[in-house]
Structure 1
């Protein structure tokens, strides 16, 4: 096994998702993930504390990008416009590997209660990061929370549509996430 090949973290994520899909989360061991990725167990543990953590690989980066986009939105932007800026910023960092993992990750999560719980915690973390960024812009608490939750829903829906879209569609994630956010904005007008 090559010890210091670049891209170990990405290879570990791909290997884990593949194994979770092929044989189930419970039947997959850290040793199998490391072997499939071509790294040692100790390399796995340098990147992740356990196999559940593979699911949220990149969550900190994603939260940071969403918050940066919100913070960088024009001064007069409303809460959902700021969330849209966050979605655009985060989407710009999502590449082909993220797109390819989408359907497999969705299947792995659907098959495991433990992964469903971890995925729910990931959503809470993303909403928290966006809420904090909106509050820093002076958005009142309830509105910041609602806009952030809509942002999480838009991101997840946009990501699902993008990852399952025709591979000839090379527009990237942003148009899908922004369309989902607009759909949610329209839906809110029908709540009363």
Structure 2
């Protein structure tokens, strides 16, 4: 009798484990498929909320580039060309090893692609991390610039806003959605939190 009850208990637990595993797998599959479908719909401009970009509100766009990917100059130029086409006016490119900055300082003189011909000579032979092309200002940063603290503070602010924490962010209504607004005091507080602000 005890043996039979043990077998029934094991069978029930086994079925429960299988059901839980199947439910988690189905949820994961649904999540993955919904994200892929959303990306597909965005790329074909079928979602109305992504059709209108309010670029006039975008003062600066920061892009973190993996140092291995930064060595592919043509891809970086294609990215910059796309930013320029979209209408972005100020771009900050960051890679930890300074590969992009070196490419700009030594002059980007590689092969000319039709799509990126406007960017084949971006900032050639300049000794500054700032340059401009076609009305777009490009700034290149690396780990040697001593700005890791700013990146950490920005990450802290972003994490706090994602968690809905109101310590660093105030919320305002705009363009039919909630916008996160960071003040100078918020930035100073975040810089103090990561140890790069001693005032």
Relative contact order (C-alpha < 8 Å, sep 6+): which is higher? Answer: 1
Same fold? TM cut 0.5: no
Work out which of the two has the higher radius of gyration on C-alpha atoms and give 1 or 2. Answer: 2
TM-score (ref. length: structure 1): 0.28
TM-score (ref. length: structure 2): 0.27
